[in-house]
C-alpha cells in the first residue's frame, strides 16, 4: 500500500474511533444471551416451483416481518416468504425458470442470483431495481453444473443493511451428474443448508446495523452467531454420512470452521461445481459469499454430540446430536467430476483492491453506476490477476461467469480445498495476489453491465466495485 493511502485509511479509522459513530445500543447482545434457548435448527422450506406453460415459476415476496431470535422478544426483520432469510429454491440444469420477486418493503431493493450464469438484464444487480409494490422477474434457462448458490439484494449503497436485516436465501442447482453420485441428497435429513451469519442486537433485542466509519473500513462483525436464523441451534442427525451446504452469509466475517472433537471431513464442492476428487480436511475457511459442500461421517457416533464452530471467534454455529438410526446409507465416492477448463488464456487483466482517504476502490476508482470499467469479448479466455493492496482482508466476486483459481501468491499449492472447483468468489488476505482463469460465455449485452466487487458488504457499499459488459 502506498503511504498516502495507508495514512488516509488510518485517519478515517481514527475519526470513527474518536467519534464512536454508530453503535447505538451496541453491547446489548451480552444482556440478551441469558434469553437464548437451544432450539432445533430451522431448515428453510424447499421451494420446487410451479410449472406454467413449460416454465418453472418461483413466486417470492420480499417483506417486513418479525422473528424470534430470543425467547419472548419479537425482532423486526426482513424476509423472503419467511420472517427471516428466504426459502431454498431448487433448480435443474436445462430448465426454463422465472423467479418472480414482489417487493413489499417501503424502500427499493434488488435481488441478485449470486453464482447464477444469466443474461445481464436478469442478473439482479444495482440497475434492476424493484420499487415498493412492484414485481421483477429473472427469466432464463439454467445453464450450469450442480452447485449451491444464493440470492440476496444488490442495491447500490444499501446491500449490507438489507442483507443484515435478513434478505438472503439458498439456491440449489442439480444435474444428471449430481443425480448419479452416491452422496447424501435427502433435503432436511442428510442434505442440510447452513447459512452462517453474525449480528449485533441492541438491548431490546432489535437488529443493530449502525457501523462506525472504522467498521465500514474493517467490516461490520457481530457478536451473536446465527445458523439459518437461529442462535446456536441443534440438529438431530442420523448415524450416517451427512452433507452440509455451508454458506458464509455474513457481511464481513471470515470463518475458520471445524468440529469440536477435531474430526476430519470431506470437502466435495466449492461455489459452482464439485471438486474432481473429495478433499480430506480438518478445517474450512470461508469469506463472505463463499460456499462449500462438506460430507461428515457420523456412522460410528450414535449417542454423541459434536459442535460445528469457529474457535477463533468463540462462535458455536451448530450442535449436532447423533440421535437417530440411519434410514438410508451413502458412500461418497473419491472421484466426483471432471472439470473442463478453458483453453490457454490470450489476455490478462489486472485488478488492485485499494483505498485512499476513507474511500474504497478497485484500480484507483470507486464505483460509479454511469461508468463501464471493462469491456470483455465473449469466449475470450483471460487471466484476471487480483491483488489486495491494503492492510485488511478482502475478497473478489465476479458476476456472469465462474472461474478457476490458478494460484495464490505465485503457487497452486497455496489453494484451499474448496478452491479446487469452479468458483465466483475468492478470498484475499492482506497482500495476497490471486490469478483467475476467466471466460465469458453465452450472453452479450453492450448496455446492461455485470459487476465485480469485494463481497465484504460494507466494502462493496463504500465503493469497492466495478462494472463490465460482455460484447
Whole-Å CA distances, 378 to 102, 315, 346, 424, 443? 32, 43, 13, 18, 8
The predicted pLDDT at position 38 comes to 83
Beta-bridge partners for 136: 101
Total domains in the fold of the chain = 3
Domain for residue 331, yes or no?
Answer: no
Residue 20 belongs to a domain: no
In CATH, what number is assigned to the domain containing residue 310? 2.60.40.420
- Residue 334 in any domain: the answer is no
pLDDT tens-digit profile of 271-320?
A: 999 999 999 999 999 999 999 999 999 999 999 999 999 999 999 999 99
CB neighbours of 411 closer than 8 A, spacing ≥ 6?
A: none
- Domain finish residue from 324, 358, 384: 324
In a domain, 330, yes or no: no
E-state strands within 187-332? 191-199, 224-227, 230-231, 234-238, 241-248, 255-259, 265-269, 274-281, 284-286, 291-297, 305-310, 315-324
Locate all alpha helices (DSSP H) within 48-153, ordered by sequence.
none
pLDDT in the model for residue 37: 75
* Of 35, 89, 80, 44, the residue nearest 62 (C-alpha): 80
pLDDT of residue 24: 39
210 and 290 belong to one structural domain: yes
Give the end of a domain, one of 146, 174, 202: 174
Say whether both 231 and 197 belong to one domain: yes
Instruction: Please indicate, yes or no, whether residues 211 and 140 belong to a single structural domain of this protein.
Output: no
Element holding 425 (H helix, E strand): strand 425-428
- Helices and strands per DSSP (H, E), number in the chain: 6, 34
Residues 320 and 343 in one domain: no
Task: Judge whether 22 lies within some domain.
Answer: no
Do residues 59 and 142 share a domain? yes
Angstrom distance (rounded) from CA 98 to CA 138: 6
Please report the pLDDT score of residue 33 as a whole number: 73
Same domain (yes/no): 110, 221: no
Task: Please tell me the predicted confidence (pLDDT) of residue 16.
Answer: 37
CA dist., res. 310 & res. 319, Å (int): 12
Same domain? For 165 and 201 the reply is no
Phi then psi for 324, rounded to 5 degrees?
-120, 145
Confirm whether 120 is domain-assigned: yes
The dihedral formed by the CA atoms of 154, 222, 245 and 60, expressed in degrees to the nearest 10: -40
**Domain assignment of residue 180, yes or no:** no
**53 assigned to some structural domain:** yes
Question: Which three three-digit cell numbers place residue 80?
Answer: 423472503
Nearest 5°: phi and psi at 193? -80, 140
Residue holding cell 471470515? Answer: 254
170 plus 55 within the same structural domain: yes
| 44 neighbors 166 (Cβ within 8 angstroms) | no
Same domain? 282 vs 317: yes
Question: Cell numbers of 320, please?
Answer: 449436532
What gap in Å lies between CA 272 and CA 84, rounded to an integer? 25
Domain edge (last residue) among 106, 139, 174: 174
Which stretches of the chain drop beneath a pLDDT of 50? 1-25
In angstroms, the first-to-last Cα distance of the chain is 34
CA distance 312 to 60: 37
Tell me which residue of 88, 83, 99 sits closest to 44, measured CA to CA: 88
Owning domain of residue 223: 191-324
Taking only the tens place, the pLDDT of each residue in 210-240 is 999 999 999 999 999 999 999 999 999 999 9
Q: Are residues 84 and 119 in the same domain?
A: yes
Q: What is the pTM of this model?
A: 0.94
- pLDDT number for residue 39: 94
pLDDT of residue 28: 64
Same domain, 125 and 69: yes
**3-state secondary structure string, 58-80?**
EEEEEEEEEECCCCCCCEEEEEE
Specify whether 359 is located in the same domain as 455. Answer: yes
**Phi–psi pair at 129, nearest 5 degrees:** -70, 145
Amino acid at each position: 500500500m502506498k503511504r498516502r493511502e495507508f495514512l488516509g485509511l488510518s485517519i478515517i479509522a481514527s475519526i470513527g474511533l474518536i467519534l464512536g459513530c454508530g453503535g447505538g445500543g451496541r453491547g446489548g447482545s451480552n444482556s440478551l444471551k441469558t434469553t437464548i434457548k437451544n432450539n432445533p435448527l430451522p431448515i428453510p422450506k424447499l421451494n420446487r416451483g410451479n410449472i406454467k406453460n413449460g416454465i418453472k415459476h418461483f413466486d417470492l415476496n420480499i417483506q417486513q416481518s418479525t422473528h424470534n431470535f430470543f425467547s419472548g422478544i419479537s425482532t423486526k426483520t426482513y424476509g423472503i416468504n419467511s420472517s427471516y432469510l428466504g426459502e431454498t429454491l431448487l433448480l435443474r440444469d436445462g430448465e426454463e425458470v422465472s423467479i418472480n420477486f414482489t417487493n413489499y418493503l417501503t424502500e427499493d431493493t434488488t435481488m441478485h442470483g449470486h453464482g447464477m450464469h444469466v443474461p445481464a438484464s436478469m442478473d439482479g444487480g444495482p440497475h434492476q431495481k424493484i420499487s415498493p409494490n412492484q414485481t421483477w422477474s429473472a427469466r432464463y434457462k439454467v445453464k450450469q453444473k450442480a452447485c449451491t448458490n444464493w440470492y440476496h439484494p444488490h442495491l447500490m449503497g444499501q446491500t449490507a443493511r438489507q442483507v443484515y436485516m435478513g434478505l438472503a436465501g439458498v439456491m440449489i442447482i442439480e444435474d444428471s451428474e449430481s443425480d448419479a453420485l452416491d452422496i447424501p441428497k435427502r433435503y432436511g435429513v442428510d442434505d442440510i443448508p447452513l447459512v452462517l451469519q453474525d449480528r449485533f442486537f441492541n438491548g431490546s433485542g432489535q437488529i443493530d446495523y449502525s457501523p462506525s466509519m472504522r467498521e465500514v473500513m474493517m467490516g461490520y462483525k457481530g457478536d451473536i452467531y446465527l445458523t439459518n436464523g437461529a442462535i446456536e441451534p441443534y440438529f438431530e442427525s442420523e448415524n450416517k454420512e451427512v452433507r452440509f451446504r455451508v454458506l458464509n452469509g455474513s457481511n464481513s466475517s471470515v470463518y475458520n470452521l471445524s468440529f469440536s472433537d477435531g474430526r476430519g471431513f470431506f470437502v466435495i464442492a466449492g461455489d459452482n461445481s464439485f471438486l474432481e476428487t473429495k478433499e480430506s480436511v480438518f478445517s474450512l475457511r470461508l469469506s463472505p459469499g463463499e460456499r462449500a459442500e462438506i460430507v461428515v461421517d457420523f456412522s460410528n457416533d450414535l449417542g454423541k454430540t459434536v459442535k460445528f464452530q469457529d474457535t477463533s471467534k468463540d462462535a458455536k454455529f451448530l450442535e449436532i446430536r447423533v440421535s437417530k438410526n440411519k434410514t438410508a446409507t451413502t458412500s461418497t465416492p473419491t472421484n466426483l467430476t471432471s472439470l473442463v477448463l478453458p483453453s490457454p488464456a490470450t489476455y490478462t487483466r489486472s485488478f488492485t483492491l485499494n483505498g485512499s482517504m476513507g474511500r474504497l476502490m478497485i484500480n484507483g476508482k470507486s464505483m460509479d453506476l454511469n461508468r463501464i470499467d471493462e469491456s470483455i469479448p465473449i469466449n475470450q479466455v483471460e487471466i484476471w490477476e487480483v491483488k489486495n493492496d491494503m492492510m485488511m482482508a478482502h475478497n473478489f466476486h465476479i458476476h456472469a461467469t465462474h472461474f478457476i483459481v490458478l494460484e495464490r501468491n505465485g503457487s497452486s499449492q497455496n489453494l484451499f480445498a474448496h478452491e479446487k472447483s469452479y468458483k465466483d468468489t475468492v478470498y484475499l488476505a492482506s497482500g495476497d495476489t490471486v490469478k483467475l482463469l476467466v471466460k465469458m460465455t453465452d450472453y452479450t449485452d453492450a448496455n446492461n453491465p455485470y459487476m465485480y466487487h469485494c463481497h465484504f458488504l460494507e466494502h462493496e457499499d463504500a465503493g469497492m466495485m466495478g462494472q463490465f459488459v460482455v460484447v
